[in-house]
A = this chain, B = another copy of it.
Amino acid sequence: MSEIRNAALAPSGAKKIDWVRERMPVLRSLEEDFRKEQPFAGMKIALSIHMEAKTAYFATVLKSGGAEVYATGSNVLSTQDDVAAALAERGVEVFAWHAATEEEYTHHLRCTLEAGPQIIIDDGGDLVNLIHNDPSLRDLLPGVIGGCEETTTGIIRLQAMDADGALAFPMMLVNNAQCKFLFDNRYGTGQSVWNAINKTTNLIVAGKNVVVAGYGWCGKGVSMRARALGAHVTVTEIDPVKACEAIMDGYNVLPMAEAAKIGDVFVTVTGCRDVISTEHFALLRDGAILCNAGHFNVEVNMEALEAYAVSKEEKRENIMGYLLPNGRTVCVLGEGRLVNLACGDGHPAEIMDMSFSIQALSAKYLAEHAGARPAGQRTIRVPAEVDREVAMRKLRYMGYAIDTLTPVQEKYLGSWNLG
């Protein structure tokens, strides 16, 4: 019933899944628990995920909890056909192939929903959007207990729906869990961006002028690793408090119009568009390298660059050189898309171990609270206990132990909190 490209690719995909499985001990421990507890017995779960090894393993963990799992790829370019084949072979219903057309993509989304899921795991909001807006699917809404959303973008969409009273079931804001954003954005993005840049360019980072646009969690991670590799880091910001933090952290701060003149490498992580755009191109040094790790492919204004450049030429794999009217060349990595995905393998497995464990326990939480549909706000924070549980398991598998409060200390803190 799965719709995949080629079932014969399964062995290659299986090897990839097994490699990451060994590096995801928290999720592995949940797999074991779920096998015993069967929290999803009799349920169907629909997933929209990047169809690659780490997410595929996550899908099998849900299955081990008793669910029938229906999965599609959240991005047609990130879908790996061998992983899809291996996942199908392991008993998940998979509807996805690499480079699907728009029409095929929507068809695949629909396939997962038509199964009539109780739980929806979404990545960007496409599943939730479709089930709410497609008349042929709306009948399925009452059957849905709730769902989880992985991304910032998806959460913004959900909160808008929630504000309009348009959200039919509760959605857990996985991205806002501590074990997600504190780790994924700082350590995950921080390292994977430089993995990707280094792999693609093979240039030295030490001594380079690196410009990081945006000093949120991602920007902090990217800046920290840039300096760690020996770069001279300049941060651009629109928030003065974050700019002060960057200065106190030892970085230079400049407006982009100044930073543009000195940067050797630029990384945008602002969540906004046109961060590097027409007014900056002519200022860039010859050979400057531009890449984005923030938001879709709009932070470096590629459209404007295409229009402005005299010509373009591929310099190395994933590096496009744009010849500018002033005779200089600027190099864009991965077409301005998320550089750690377009030019790398995404976040390391150990990071996703925490994010997907939050997902798995959030799904379990939904299953356990199936009857209790909240009246008011339907976007729900992941409970602190879930964060705590994931972190405790992570510590244990890394071999660490921590302190607990003595009764005297508990009483002392309690007296504080009561004034």
Contacts and interface: CB of A to CB of B under 8 A. Distances in A.
A198 B19 CA distance: 15
A403 B182 contact: no
Interface string A134-168: 00000000000000000000001101110110000
Interface string A252-287: 111110100000000000011110000000000001
B391 A240 contact: yes
B392 A240 contact: yes
A272 B409 contact: yes
A173 interface: no
A273 B409 contact: yes
- How many chain copies does the complex carry? 4
Contacts of A248: 183, 186-187, 206-207, 230
Contact of A400 (B160, B247, B274): B247
Nearest to A204: B348
B229 A182 contact: no
B273 A207 contact: no
Given A225-B228, A232-B252, A391-B243, A204 B182 contact: no
Given A240-B391, A243-B391, A243-B402, 16 more contacts: A15-B316, A156-B419, A159-B419, A163-B419, A191-B205, A195-B195, A195-B199, A203-B349, A204-B351, A207-B247, A207-B248, A230-B249, A232-B247, A243-B395, A247-B400, A253-B400
A394 interface: yes
Given A272-B412, A274-B408, A255 B403 contact: yes
Contacts of A101: none
A133 interface: no
A247 to B, nearest CB: 5
Contacts of A247: 207, 232, 395, 398, 400
Interface in A336-356: 344-346, 348-351, 354
A404 B204 contact: no
Contacts of A205: 191
A185 B255 CA distance: 28
A171 to B, nearest CB: 13
A123 interface: no
Contacts of A230: 187, 191, 248-250
A403 B206 contact: no
A225 B250 CA distance: 12
A315 interface: yes
Given A198-B195, A203-B348, A402 B237 contact: yes
A307 interface: no
In the A-B complex, the 5 residue pairs with the smallest Cβ-Cβ separation, listed nearest first, are A160-B419, A228-B228, A240-B391, A204-B348, A202-B345
Interface string A163-196: 1100000000000001100110011100100010
A151 to B, nearest CB: 13
A178 B400 contact: no
A405 interface: yes
A274 B345 CA distance: 33
